[in-house]
Amino acid sequence: MCKTKKRIVFPNTALGLFFLWGCFAASFLAVLAMKPMLGTAGVILTALAEHGLVSVTLIYGILLIVSLVKKEWRKAIAIFGLGVLGAILLFIGTGFAMAINFAIRTAAWDATAEEPRLVELPNAAGAPLFSVEYKNVHPILAEYDKTIVFSSGKRIGVWRDTGGAGAFAVYQLPSGDYYLVDGLDADFIRNDYYINVTQETVEILCGQTWLPLPDNALRVTMKSNDFVVAETVDGNVTVESGRPVGDSLKGRRYLGLINPQGSFVPGEV
């Protein structure tokens, strides 16, 4: 009588889950490697990939525990073996991803070492009323720290440009002050500023309120309809009170566009 050789059936649930884990792991490693080229989006994508990877890992661990409780030894051994293999591959892959990350940052490092560009807004006589300084903060993308610089040398940092919307539309108000808009029509990155050149102050629009930025602000890091947070050399400062917008923007006259390439372009938006 012929003996039938018993065929070992690989547990499909373990293999399928391992494949899903591999997809999240590959996504995480790809984002980690290319992070210097992704800018702010890289932070978001890395967080999403990390959460997906952790979630699938937890499910994988639960599947292993269930297999042990049910005494499905063959399945448990397969799950454990795949888990060890995955951990080894993730460790090796992380090393490669970090090496690529470092190579990209090293190759493009000179891009952030360039001198800041200062764009002046002149008055009728040609003398500068104030300037906008653009300092490159990313080796690949057009991302800048933006600072309002007054004639006295006083500097107030505003929102960092992280969306390629570094140009400011400039308006003059009947009061003699100035109204600046960055992000233009893109609401998700738009910020509005009120510039008083006499008192050398900068206010940011939050909801229906102008909130004053600290005199020593390096940059704005967060805002809502009720408050704004500015980073200073002494730490973060939160401002929660200001003045209502009211009719402050009525009668404004468009002057032109300040762009990060280093020029002021008079004309229409």
Residue 9, pLDDT score: 42
Establish how many alpha carbons lie within 13 A of residue 90's alpha carbon, considering only the half-sphere containing its beta carbon.
18
pLDDT, tens digit, 9 for 90 and up, residues 3-57 = 555 444 444 566 777 788 888 888 888 888 887 777 667 777 878 888 888 888 8
pLDDT tens digits, 148-176: 999 888 999 998 876 556 788 899 999 88
Question: Checking phi first, is residue 85 left (phi over 0); if not, alpha (psi -120 to 50) or beta?
Answer: alpha
Q: Is the pLDDT of residue 64 over 90?
A: no
Instruction: Reply yes or no on whether the pLDDT at 102 is more than 60.
Output: yes
| DSSP element (H, E) containing 148 | strand 144-150
- Distance, CA of 135 to CA of 149 (rounded, Å): 13
Quick one: pLDDT at residue 143? 76
Residue with tokens 């006083």: 154
How many Å apart are CA 215 and CA 234, to the nearest integer?
A: 12
Summarize pLDDT for 110-141 with one digit per residue, the tens.
555 567 777 888 766 566 688 889 887 776 66
Structure confidence at residue 259 as a pLDDT band (50, 70, 90): confident
pLDDT of residue 266: 82
Residues 186/163, Cβ–Cβ less than 8 Å: yes
User: 173-221 pLDDT, tens per residue?
Assistant: 998 899 998 865 555 568 899 999 989 999 999 989 999 999 989 999 8
Of 61 and 9, the one with more pLDDT:
61
State mean pLDDT over 61-80. 85
Two structure tokens written together for 43:
């932070």
DSSP state of 115: P
The whole-number pLDDT of residue 183 equals 67
* Beta partners for residue 169, in sequence order: 181, 257
